[in-house]
Amino acid sequence: MDRNPACWLFSMLFCWTSLATAQQALAPVEARVPFAPAAFVGSDELMHLAYELHLTSIYGDTGPLMPQGLDVYAGDSGTPLAGFSAIDLAAMSRPAPAEHAPVTIEAGKRVVIYVWLTLPAGSAVPHTLRHRIAFATAKHTTELLDGVRVPVNTEAPMLIGPPLRGGLWLAHEGPGNAHSHHWGSLVAVNGQVTIPQRYALDLVGVDPQGHAMRAGVKDIGKTRHADWIGYGADVLAVADAVVRDMRDGQVEHPPLSPQSEPESLTAHGLFGNYVVLELKPGVYASYAHLQRGSVKVRAGERVRRGQLLGRLGQSGNSAAPHLHFQLSSAATFEGSEGLPFAFDHFDLLGPETEPQLFGQGEPWKSATPRQHQAQLPLNDVVIEFPAPR
């Protein structure tokens, strides 16, 4: 039987309207995780995943979108691995919102959420992650993002030896701190946005009282390099490797002196005197801020684990003597992604704050050293590497 065209059109319109009403409005955003996370065990003896969720509001007339929270799921599970409130997101996002203000994605703008997941003890590492965010709009509606599936890299982090010979070291600006100049620094160069320093450590030498400077320093603003505990310490190859890049001869700045803007977001612009080792294909170790005239190796040279590479100094973009150490996916700084790693052995002596480094606030108290194996030191803990055999 023939249908009346007008009735047929009315039925179709009614059907589509009913479907649209029944469905949740989908958020007009692009969401992606540019670099798949890899699980690693931190010095808290728990398994972690660290990655960045980029959220971009595409349309100019959308108006501001305000994330109300983030739930992260393992694959198709109906129970979140982790849930973050709107207040949590304000502390996890860059650019950071004003104090006590919510995260807001303006039309045509991007916000990056730095996600730190701690997996329940004994749980399996998920193969994929799924994300769900509800956005409040300026029109007092709610729009939903559900998906953004991300594979988890199942390759175990590389196990490496100590980069320094013995001593006590504060693992400063380390993993877990999204506001550090390491994980928190996006590097945009030649069409790529990466985070080369995602798991980097600034290893600052300390004495048994947790101080970075030797006893007797009266004015911390007028110290010499020799006043700093770690200055001149031996810097070592963490594995058998090939030297892929190095630099020496760069001046060292006075400690705690103002730093000029780097000339470029490259190793030459940031690292001062440095060594880059290829540990295996696609895995490179970078040692930065070495003492002028101390570098002992040349590009193309093969080195053995524990071999002397140079000495800890203060060259390049560095405010005080320390060793910047990282693993990444390329020999160059720009265009590389930071990779997790694990030291085969170190002792953990407990957390320390930056003020305590300079003898300010409550005195630092060392805990009884505990040996840790195959773990990555987390942000602002004091560690000790075993003495060389």
- Kindly report, residue by residue over 11-45, the tens digit of the pLDDT: 444 444 433 434 566 889 999 999 999 999 999 99
Torsion angle of alpha carbons 342, 347, 351, 354, nearest 10°?
Answer: -80
- Distance between CA 128 and CA 125 in Å, rounded? 9
Share of the chain above pLDDT 90, in %: 80
Question: Has residue 166 got a pLDDT over 80?
Answer: yes
Phi then psi dihedrals of residue 136, to 5 deg: -85, 140
Torsion angle of alpha carbons 288, 293, 299, 304, nearest 10°?
Answer: -80
Q: Go through the chain and tell me how many residues it has.
A: 389
**154 burial type by CB count under 10 A (0-12 exposed, 13-18 middle, 19+ buried):** exposed
Question: Has residue 227 got a pLDDT over 50?
Answer: yes
Question: Has residue 80 got a pLDDT over 50?
Answer: yes
Residue type, 36: A
Q: Quote the longest CA-to-CA distance of the chain.
A: 102
Which is more confidently placed, 349 or 190? 349
Per-residue pLDDT, averaged over 363-373, amounts to 95
- Distance between CA 12 and CA 7 in Å, rounded? 9
Q: How high does pLDDT run on average in the chain? A: 91
Cβ contacts of residue 365 below 8 Å, gap of 6+?
350
312's tokens: 């800890």
Per-residue pLDDT, averaged over 210-239, amounts to 94
- Distance between CA 2 and CA 15 in Å, rounded? 20
Per-residue pLDDT, averaged over 292-320, amounts to 97
- Distance between CA 47 and CA 81 in Å, rounded? 13
Cβ contacts of residue 100 below 8 Å, gap of 6+?
none
Q: HEC states along 242-282?
A: EEEEEECCCCECCCCCCCCCCCCCCHHHHCCCEEEEEEECC
Residue 17, classed as helix, strand or coil, is: helix
13's tokens: 């319109």
Which is more confidently placed, 23 or 331? 331
Closest CA to 129 of 190, 205, 76, 204: 76
Partners of 172 in the beta sheet? Answer: 202
Residue 24's pLDDT is what?
63
244's tokens: 């892929």
287's tokens: 């040692």
Cβ contacts of residue 347 below 8 Å, gap of 6+?
369, 370, 371, 372, 383, 384, 385, 386
- Give first-to-last CA distance, the chain, whole Å: 93
Question: Has residue 9 got a pLDDT over 50?
Answer: no
Closest CA to 271 of 286, 253, 254: 286
DSSP character at residue 191: T
Radius of gyration of the chain, Cα coordinates, nearest whole angstrom: 25
Question: Has residue 337 got a pLDDT over 70?
Answer: yes
- Distance between CA 294 and CA 274 in Å, rounded? 10
187-to-16, 266, 286 alpha-carbon distances in Å: 45, 10, 16
> Contact 159/342 with Cβ under 8 angstroms?
yes
Partners of 375 in the beta sheet? Answer: 343
344 CB neighbour count, 10 Å cutoff: 15
The strand pair at 381-384 and 341-351 is best described as: antiparallel
Total-model pTM:
0.91
